Chain A
Amino acid sequence: MTQTRLALLGAILFSCTLSAAEITESAQGWALEFSSCSRGRGSAVIQEATDGAVDGVAAAYQSAKNALSSSQERELASLLPELSSLLNAIESNPGRLQTGDSFLQGSETCVAVNLPLSIEAQQGEGDWLWDEAGDELSVRVQATANASDGLSASQAAEFAALQQAVWQGLNLIVDDPSPFIHLQAAPRQFVSEWMVLENHQQGDSATVVVNADLNMAELNRIANNDYLAAGEPVFLVHAEQPRFAEPLIALLIQQGYQITQSFDSADIVLRVTTELRTAGDRSQLALSLSLLDKASARLGEWQNEPAVVALPTKEGIETRLFGVHLASEDNQHSIVTMLQSGLMQLSQAGGRYNKIVFPKNTLASQAQLQRLLGQHHYIYSPQLLTDGEQTVLAFRSRMANNSLMDTLIPELLAILDNKVAVNAVSNNQIIIR
């Protein structure tokens, strides 16, 4: 009698624990249903339970199989896969484990998990192929070139075709690809595969038609970098107390930005202002950063929340407070965000502030200059200023001055008095004498 009762009790307990995992049939076939739980509440815990679902498969499958009646077992004998092949199938396609709504169960938060048991039906599916397709772009370009620099005419034409292909890809990603003109110098890093479809030789020149597969992911990575898009401006950190400049310089270098110590070669000035506020025995530090460009355009502001950290007043507390505010991850994140949006703003305004200086009387016709600037669409908001005996052409551009030397400068020299030549080139100034 007691034994029967124990057995009964066991059966009840057994069925209770098993209700958590079962094998069910739906229109899509047989599936394993169970719940994956994790202690706690909130989205982080739901994620934990979802991530942990795969670990629960083995136990759930085992107990769900044990719960089958003998007739069900006979019916399903041929349909149920081995545990190992089920796990392999999940490994090759984690999307098979479908998680549904979350629900609370005591101190745990659970997600409902559904795992189809028919392995073949799902094979070969999966949406990752689409993603890869999005990373590649096939373009067909035609280019003509003469033999030069040790390259045969057809080699040069092929190179020019790849350059064009990269340019086309860039045009799809950004409105103005001019800051990325230097990427054309080595186009092959963005082309995963190419094929020459046609090749015509005519005298010294060759014309080729090339089909090129562009690596759009790599192009995207570079084109969507605010720093590169703004024309790689050079930063100067200005703080009244030099010790406050150092940590910010370190932060900028960490971002991969160029730093200078001289005001002349700076494109952007990051100004640091601090104010120590002491109330009673506690001190707080108000810290503000402003981002200005060479033409005094305000690119960004950031202020800390002084009340977050209040420390006992003592000597050197200002440095300590500065260090703590800057070490805060949230602050670092918001400073970097401010820098990035400043760079984006700079890029939208047309790029770095740049100057070309030439002697006052060498420019014969302003109209000629205007026409020239109109042809170079990467020159933004040009202005002609007079500075003593010099004429200054101030403008914004995202293109590096080295590239300007190859593009704008030869044409500018052509309309200037032919006695002048480029005297000096810096990152934000070209002097012609």
Chain B
Amino acid sequence: MAKRNTLILTALSALVLAGCQSNGTPQSRMQTNAANGASGFEYGKPAEQFTDNDIELPAYYSTAGLDKCTFEVNNEHPDCPLGKKVLRLYMNDPITTQSDNPNDWLSSVREYDNRSLLNQFENQLVGLNRFRIVTGDVRTASILGDATQGMSDAELARRMKGGVLHPDYAMTVDTVKTGELVTGGSTNLVDFSLDFTLGFLDPYTNEKLSYPNVGKIKVRTGDVKPLNEMQFWMQSGKVEGGFDIYDANAVSAVLNDMSSRGFGIALSRMLSEMPATAQVLGIRGERISLDRGQNAGILPDETMVIFEYSYGFAEPVGVATVNPSDIESQGRIMRWKNSRDAKRIQGEAKDGIYRPANDAKLFAVSVGTPKSFLENRISASGNL
């Protein structure tokens, strides 16, 4: 009897615990799997998967309106949320950890320099629409040289009217490369890992900035390649078969994939760190109309939490899937929060257009990178 009681108690507590879990911390972001100890991609939960409890405000939301905006790229008001900082990317010389191995198989790793991937990273970063990027791409000069021949002085002057872009921040990428050799009887295994940190600094004062902070990113070979492809067999100091650790090209190929994944993870974290915000102009039924689009960095299939901002309090009212045009966005509320404010707005939007009042503005804030964007734009293969 006593034994049974304990059983029931355990079952009950398990239930309570389970209840707590589903009702506990709001989850608006998800993470992909990664190899042992490595970092995964971070992405926003699709709106249809949100529970009532998940509808909460993500960090770094903003309630800035467009009233002060001039909508001129090179002359934007400092208080306008559409003003973007100009960024110049630098990549430091990657560091390779030292080894005492007399054979020095790490020389092929040491040789690898991921700075050649910087242009790629620039291209991906600028697609997020959070920054303006001054390219360090040296090809530009030669391309321009051909294009300007035969152009009149006045025409060339007109085209160069935008003037010169001076970086507000320098974004630095630091990489540490490590190689681990697991030696077995006849079969050996090599496992590389790359550690990234991203720093933002004011290039004129050398001050490092605390925001945006994407933390530390680790990518392991297992994230980009099945580990059995990294096996090799050796005899009297020579690779007899499998992955050739002395072949700089083979090593580069793996490390390139890993760098690329690392950049992707950095981007996905950056979008969580710098969410896109827009003001809601109106709601009709489930449809919402937002005042900003691509120009504010809203991505296709963006999951956004809608909140009412009134008297200094932000009250989440629902979650929507949003698609941008260049200057506006349209979306659909997939789930209303179970709250009085949400019901009031839902009720008014049902019979016509709900237009937020001046003292109770509605905003939408993105929760993280949309999964489809990660799959189709950040990762090359579609696999995360």
* Binding partners A and B: yes
Measured CB to CB, the residues of A under 8 A from B are 40-45, 104-107, 281-282, 305, 307-312, 320, 323-331
User: Cβ of A328 and Cβ of B325 under 8 Å apart?
Assistant: no
In the bound complex, CA of A106 to CA of B292 (Å): 9
Q: Which residue of A lies closest to B291 (CB)?
A: A104
In the bound complex, CA of A341 to CA of B179 (Å): 67
Chain A residues near B182: list those with CB within 8 A.
Answer: none
In the bound complex, CA of A329 to CA of B325 (Å): 33
Q: Which residue of A lies closest to B82 (CB)?
A: A41
User: Cβ of A305 and Cβ of B153 under 8 Å apart?
Assistant: no
Q: Which residue of A lies closest to B166 (CB)?
A: A307
User: Cβ of A307 and Cβ of B164 under 8 Å apart?
Assistant: yes
Chain B residues near A311: list those with CB within 8 A.
Answer: 144-145, 148
Q: Which residue of B lies closest to A247 (CB)?
A: B153
Minimum CB–CB distance from B167 to chain A (whole Å) comes to: 12
User: Cβ of B141 and Cβ of A312 under 8 Å apart?
Assistant: yes
Chain B residues near A40: list those with CB within 8 A.
Answer: 71, 327
User: Cβ of A305 and Cβ of B156 under 8 Å apart?
Assistant: no
Decide if B157 is an interface residue (CB 8 Å cutoff): yes
User: Cβ of A104 and Cβ of B66 under 8 Å apart?
Assistant: yes
User: Cβ of B164 and Cβ of A327 under 8 Å apart?
Assistant: no
User: Cβ of B158 and Cβ of A312 under 8 Å apart?
Assistant: no
User: Cβ of B328 and Cβ of A106 under 8 Å apart?
Assistant: yes
In the bound complex, CA of A44 to CA of B69 (Å): 12
- Tell me whether A328 and B281 are in contact in the complex, defined as CB-CB below 8 angstroms, given that A42-B70, A311-B144 are known contacts: no
Chain A residues near B154: list those with CB within 8 A.
Answer: 327
Q: List 15 A-B contacts (CB under 8 A).
A: A40-B327, A41-B66, A41-B71, A43-B71, A45-B71, A105-B281, A105-B289, A106-B289, A106-B328, A281-B141, A305-B164, A309-B156, A310-B141, A311-B144, A327-B156
In the bound complex, CA of A104 to CA of B295 (Å): 15
User: Cβ of B157 and Cβ of A324 under 8 Å apart?
Assistant: yes
Decide if B161 is an interface residue (CB 8 Å cutoff): yes
Decide if B185 is an interface residue (CB 8 Å cutoff): no
User: Cβ of A328 and Cβ of B157 under 8 Å apart?
Assistant: yes
* Residue among A43, A45, A320, A329 making CB contact with B161, cutoff 8 Å: A329
Chain A residues near B78: list those with CB within 8 A.
Answer: none
- Tell me whether A308 and B327 are in contact in the complex, defined as CB-CB below 8 angstroms, given that A106-B289, A327-B157, A328-B157 are known contacts: no
In the bound complex, CA of A40 to CA of B327 (Å): 7
In the bound complex, CA of A305 to CA of B166 (Å): 12
In the bound complex, CA of A283 to CA of B38 (Å): 46
In the bound complex, CA of A329 to CA of B164 (Å): 15
Chain B residues near A106: list those with CB within 8 A.
Answer: 281, 289, 328, 330
User: Cβ of B69 and Cβ of A42 under 8 Å apart?
Assistant: yes
Minimum CB–CB distance from A104 to chain B (whole Å) comes to: 5
Q: Which residue of B lies closest to A330 (CB)?
A: B161
The 7 closest A-B pairs by CB, nearest first: A42-B71, A312-B145, A323-B153, A328-B157, A327-B153, A327-B157, A327-B154
In the bound complex, CA of A307 to CA of B164 (Å): 6
- Tell me whether A42 and B72 are in contact in the complex, defined as CB-CB below 8 angstroms, given that A309-B160, A320-B153, A324-B157 are known contacts: yes
Q: Which residue of B lies closest to A284 (CB)?
A: B164
Chain B residues near A41: list those with CB within 8 A.
Answer: 66, 69, 71, 327
The 0/1 profile, CB within 8 Å of A marked 1, for residues 137-174 of chain B is 00001101100100011101110110110000000000
User: Cβ of A328 and Cβ of B160 under 8 Å apart?
Assistant: yes
In the bound complex, CA of A141 to CA of B289 (Å): 69
Minimum CB–CB distance from A333 to chain B (whole Å) comes to: 12
Contact-size category for B: 20 to 34
Chain A residues near B327: list those with CB within 8 A.
Answer: 40-41, 107
Minimum CB–CB distance from B324 to chain A (whole Å) comes to: 10
Chain B residues near A325: list those with CB within 8 A.
Answer: 157
In the bound complex, CA of A41 to CA of B145 (Å): 34
Chain A residues near B330: list those with CB within 8 A.
Answer: 106
Minimum CB–CB distance from B42 to chain A (whole Å) comes to: 31
User: Cβ of B161 and Cβ of A328 under 8 Å apart?
Assistant: yes
Q: Which residue of B lies closest to A103 (CB)?
A: B281
In the bound complex, CA of A45 to CA of B291 (Å): 15
The 0/1 profile, CB within 8 Å of A marked 1, for residues 285-322 of chain B is 00001010100000000000000000000000000000
Chain A residues near B163: list those with CB within 8 A.
Answer: 305, 308
Chain B residues near A331: list those with CB within 8 A.
Answer: 157
User: Cβ of A107 and Cβ of B71 under 8 Å apart?
Assistant: no
Q: Which residue of A lies closest to B146 (CB)?
A: A312
Minimum CB–CB distance from A251 to chain B (whole Å) comes to: 13
User: Cβ of A308 and Cβ of B164 under 8 Å apart?
Assistant: yes
- Tell me whether A326 and B142 are in contact in the complex, defined as CB-CB below 8 angstroms, given that A41-B71, A107-B328, A308-B160 are known contacts: no
Minimum CB–CB distance from A68 to chain B (whole Å) comes to: 20
In the bound complex, CA of A281 to CA of B143 (Å): 12
**Which residues, 327 to 366 on B, are CB-close (under 8 Å) to A?**
327-328, 330
User: Cβ of A281 and Cβ of B161 under 8 Å apart?
Assistant: no
Chain A residues near B70: list those with CB within 8 A.
Answer: 42-43
In the bound complex, CA of A44 to CA of B71 (Å): 9
- Tell me whether A312 and B142 are in contact in the complex, defined as CB-CB below 8 angstroms, given that A41-B327, A324-B160, A327-B156 are known contacts: yes
In the bound complex, CA of A284 to CA of B269 (Å): 39
Chain B residues near A44: list those with CB within 8 A.
Answer: 71
* Residue among B71, B144, B158, B328 making CB contact with A329, cutoff 8 Å: B158
In the bound complex, CA of A106 to CA of B290 (Å): 7
Chain B residues near A320: list those with CB within 8 A.
Answer: 153
* Residue among B72, B141, B156 making CB contact with A282, cutoff 8 Å: B141
**Given A43-B71, A106-B289, A328-B158; 17 other pairs, CB 8 A cutoff:** A40-B327, A42-B72, A43-B70, A104-B66, A105-B281, A105-B289, A107-B293, A282-B141, A309-B157, A309-B160, A311-B144, A323-B153, A325-B157, A326-B153, A327-B157, A328-B157, A329-B161
- Tell me whether A104 and B281 are in contact in the complex, defined as CB-CB below 8 angstroms, given that A41-B71, A42-B69, A328-B157 are known contacts: yes
Minimum CB–CB distance from A322 to chain B (whole Å) comes to: 9
Minimum CB–CB distance from B178 to chain A (whole Å) comes to: 35
Chain B residues near A312: list those with CB within 8 A.
Answer: 141-142, 144-145
Minimum CB–CB distance from B283 to chain A (whole Å) comes to: 13
Q: Which residue of B lies closest to A331 (CB)?
A: B157
Minimum CB–CB distance from B107 to chain A (whole Å) comes to: 31
In the bound complex, CA of A41 to CA of B278 (Å): 14
Q: Which residue of B lies closest to A43 (CB)?
A: B70
In the bound complex, CA of A307 to CA of B152 (Å): 19
Chain B residues near A107: list those with CB within 8 A.
Answer: 293, 325-328
In the bound complex, CA of A120 to CA of B152 (Å): 57
In the bound complex, CA of A309 to CA of B144 (Å): 11
Minimum CB–CB distance from A323 to chain B (whole Å) comes to: 4
**Which residues, 47 to 83 on B, are CB-close (under 8 Å) to A?**
66, 69-72
Q: Which residue of A lies closest to B163 (CB)?
A: A308
In the bound complex, CA of A42 to CA of B66 (Å): 9
